[in-house]
Chains A and B, each alone.
Chain A
Amino acid sequence: DAEITQSPRHKITETGRQVTLACHQTWNHNNMFWYRQDLGHGLRLIHYSYGVQDTNKGEVSDGYSVSRSNTEDLPLTLESAASSQTSVYFCASSLAVSGEQFFGPGTRLTVL
């Protein structure tokens, strides 16, 4: 069955370190998204991509970057992790730009 996976599921890191969160989908969806979810803020869009080599900034993109070299993967990189980036990160993909987004299981990141 097609699916969307995230790794790692849990990560503890130190401030200043570079961290990369992986997202892989097997639906062959062109559209992929990264969100963070925090108490009191809900889901907020970090970056998104509408296809290979396409990346765009979302609402809370500072301190994060993405690259899209193939259809299946959209890794999220925290260039220099900060305690404010402690959060749960969700990756999602969709077939149509305005269609249903399918979410991964999430990565819980703690920055000490």
Chain B
Amino acid sequence: QKEVEQDPGPLSVPEGAIVSLNCTYSNSAFQYFMWYRQYSRKGPELLMYTYSSGNKEDGRFTAQVDKSSKYISLFIRDSQPSDSATYLCARNYGGSQGNLIFGKGTKLSVKP
């Protein structure tokens, strides 16, 4: 079983909707969680970076970690067509064990 599970979607929402993207993880030792955004035929780019015990907000994006349920979420407020992309969650242990393990990604489409 992959250590980070992510619903691949696809997810289609109307412009302006609130989007919730979710991942679950199995190992409580994970320290860092990241959300990457990948546009079609491009490389992934970092969107949000959180520690295991924190929430983080950046503009329309909020990353949330629920340690009790081993759930990580990315919320997008006032979604825009330009948010249409695949969103990848990733985790690492931190320190010298820093290699990332990625979820399979959720494909989001925001319709005008």
Contacts and interface: CB of A to CB of B under 8 A. Distances in A.
Interface in A74-112: 90, 92, 94, 96-106
A48 B103 CA distance: 19
Interface residues of A, number: 24
B98 A42 contact: no
A65 B70 CA distance: 35
Interface in B76-112: 88, 92-105
Contacts of B8: 40
Interface residues of B, number: 27
Main secondary structure of the interface of B (DSSP, over half): loop
A58 B43 CA distance: 19
B49 interface: yes
A108 to B, nearest CB: 8
B92 A42 contact: no
A87 B98 CA distance: 25
A100 B32 contact: no
A90 B44 contact: yes
B34 interface: yes
